Structure 1
Amino acid sequence: MMNVVKAEKSLLHFFVKRAGLRQHTIEIEPGTIIRFWIPKEKVPKQKGTVNEAVFKGKSDVKAIGKEKSGENSKKKPAVVLVHGFAADGIVTWQFQIGILARHYEVYVPDLLFFGGSTSTSTDRSPALQARCFLTALERGEARRGAQSRRGGSAIDLTDSITDDMLQRLGFASLAEMLLPESVKGLKALFSVGAYKKLPFPDWFYNDYLKVMFSNRKERAELLEGLVIRNKDAKVPALTQVLGC
């Protein structure tokens, strides 16, 4: 029997391409790749290996802009859409990409161990995700603009905050909540993340579980890396550089 969710993803790829995006793979370091949906103007014309199929440098991007518009100043601002644990990027933002692509350069990454992104590294810290994410964005020159995230994207949580939250929601662990193994568990996750009950039949939830929850071991390790002990918790001093 056909998996409806898998078929829907193929259809989504068609509509996202119609909106002007293309899927691309970026090698961050040996053994670590990030898969992105990026504006088609940023895709290299030549075909080749993963190393060749990366974002263009600044000079190439500016040259393309001048060729197509005559003015680099007409370039759209960038918007980066970051997904959470319930789905990959294209499924999470399927209803927003088309509208946003009319006015922005839209970038939709799959974080490590989601969609087509993977790594042979044993590091499961948020720092690795952030480093890979930043490197990919820098190669795409998507440094100015907005970022949106959905569904519990990577942040650090103290154990006390995590325990209190899980107790209120009725889950024993983050893995039980964010990595469901049954239709009942998936319905419970959606009940937390959606403002109203989703009227899907059980077979749809089964199809969703088969397609969206691969790499369970690695994702469970990612969740463990998000929680820090209270005594080790520190408020970081963050700096931000604003471009004009």
Structure 2
Amino acid sequence: MLTASETLGRVVVSATNAWRRAVLRRHGLRRRTIHLPDSETDIVCWMPKDVERTCNQKPSVLLLHGFGSNGTESWASHVSSLFRHFALFIPDLLFFGSSTTSRLERSELFQAHGIHTAILSLRVNQSFVIGHSYGGFVAYRLAHLYPEFVTKLIIVASGIMMDCHNNDYALRKTGANSVYDILAPTSVPALKQTLELVLNGTPKIPDFVLKAMLKRSSCGAD
């Protein structure tokens, strides 16, 4: 049986994610699962309700989220500034959110191929691409592999100047044993360390909410 704090944490996290989904719907987007031709991969993506009509009126923008996040969580707060000017496509990258595959590949090349195939299946042949953090690596690979598809490219906070010293600093600051522990925390103290590093300060989030966030993340939900 859940404690009162655990129940409250789940309510807070669920309500926050419900609000994000409502924001996306309010701005004319719908959530759809795209089954790729390999029959092993499903890409979940927010997109305009009428893709063809919207893309005829506005340029397309593909928004790619960072590691440990998903499309809904990363981009909901930006949609209101973008939807009037662009046809928005917001996928969950594979292994995050609700996108899944039974293929064994684990690389940004595989991510880029899957996203490209999914968006082409919607008859969208060109797009601006914006990638944040890990999504920036995928965005770069999209431009590298499919230059005819990517008309403009923006990469945000993807650590393009990183070297081994950056990892050493992150390990010292957080006290983590490995970079993996920072990228994929499994406990509330570890998640606090990660957030402190990412946010450059101590996060003011109650432990019971952080615990619910970890639980939801481990289930792959958004």
Q: Is TM more than 0.5 here?
A: yes
**1:1-244 alignment to 2 at 5 Å?**
1-2=7-8, 3=10, 4-28=12-36, 29-42=38-51, 61=52, 64=53, 75-153=57-135, 155=137, 163-170=164-171, 171-214=176-219
Are the equivalent residues in 1 in contact too, given 2:27–2:80 (CA < 8 A)? yes
Are the equivalent residues in 2 in contact too, given 1:179–1:213 (CA < 8 A)? no
Are the equivalent residues in 2 in contact too, given 1:86–1:151 (CA < 8 A)? no
Judged with a 3 Å threshold, the aligned counterparts in structure 2 of structure 1 residues 190 and 123 are, in CA distance, closer, same or farther, namely same
Q: Distance in 2 between matches of 1:126 and 1:79?
A: 19
Judged with a 3 Å threshold, the aligned counterparts in structure 2 of structure 1 residues 25 and 9 are, in CA distance, closer, same or farther, namely same
What CA RMSD, in Å, does the superposition of the two structures yield over aligned residues? 2.4
TM-score by length of 2: 0.74
SS of alignment partner, residue 124 of structure 1: coil
SS of alignment partner, residue 190 of structure 1: helix
Q: Distance in 1 between matches of 2:81 and 2:19?
A: 17
Q: Distance in 2 between matches of 1:195 and 1:76?
A: 37
2:121 maps to a residue whose letter is R
Q: Distance in 1 between matches of 2:15 and 2:67?
A: 21
Judged with a 3 Å threshold, the aligned counterparts in structure 2 of structure 1 residues 212 and 110 are, in CA distance, closer, same or farther, namely same
Q: Distance in 2 between matches of 1:152 and 1:11?
A: 25
TM-score by length of 1: 0.68
Q: Distance in 1 between matches of 2:163 and 2:191?
A: 20
Deviations 1:193-244 (A, max 9, x none): 22444311111111111112346xxxxxxxxxxxxxxxxxxxxxxxxxxxxx
Q: Distance in 2 between matches of 1:184 and 1:95?
A: 27
Shift of 1:181: 0.7
Residues paired across the two proteins, number: 185
Deviations 1:10-40 (A, max 9, x none): 2221221011100000011212100000011
Are the equivalent residues in 1 in contact too, given 2:131–2:137 (CA < 8 A)? no
SS of alignment partner, residue 95 of structure 2: coil
Q: Which structure 2 segments of 5+ residues have no match?
A: 1-6, 139-157
Deviations 1:137-193 (A, max 9, x none): 222344444222223336399xxx664322111144332111001112112222222
Q: Distance in 1 between matches of 2:195 and 2:124?
A: 31
Q: Distance in 2 between matches of 1:117 and 1:210?
A: 18
